Amino acid sequence: MTHLSEQERQTLWRVADVLIPATATRPGLRDADPDGIWLERALTARADLVGALQTELTQLETVPDLEPAVIDLHESDRARFEVLATAVSGAYYLVPAVRELIGYPGQHRNPPRLEDAAEELSDEVFEAAMNYPGSYRPTPR
Sequence-separated (6 or more) residues with CB below 8 Å from residue 116: none
Name the band, by pLDDT with cuts 50, 70 and 90, for residue 72: very high
Degrees, nearest 5: CA angle 103-41-81: 85
Q: Residue 31 has what pLDDT?
A: 94
- Over range 16-24, report the average pLDDT: 94
CB 122 within 8 A of CB 78: no
More confident site: 2 or 109:
109
**How close are the terminal C-alpha atoms of the chain, in Å?**
54
More confident residue, 76 or 134: 76
pLDDT value of residue 60: 94
Does this model's pTM top 0.85? My answer is no
Q: What is the pLDDT of residues 101-125, one digit of tens each?
A: 999 887 888 777 777 766 666 667 7
> How far is Cα 27 from Cα 131, in angstroms, rounded to an integer?
56
CA distance 109 to 126: 26
Lowest mean pLDDT among 21-25, 50-54, 99-103, 107-111: 107-111
For residue 7, pLDDT beyond 80? yes
Every domain of the chain and the residues it spans = 6-108
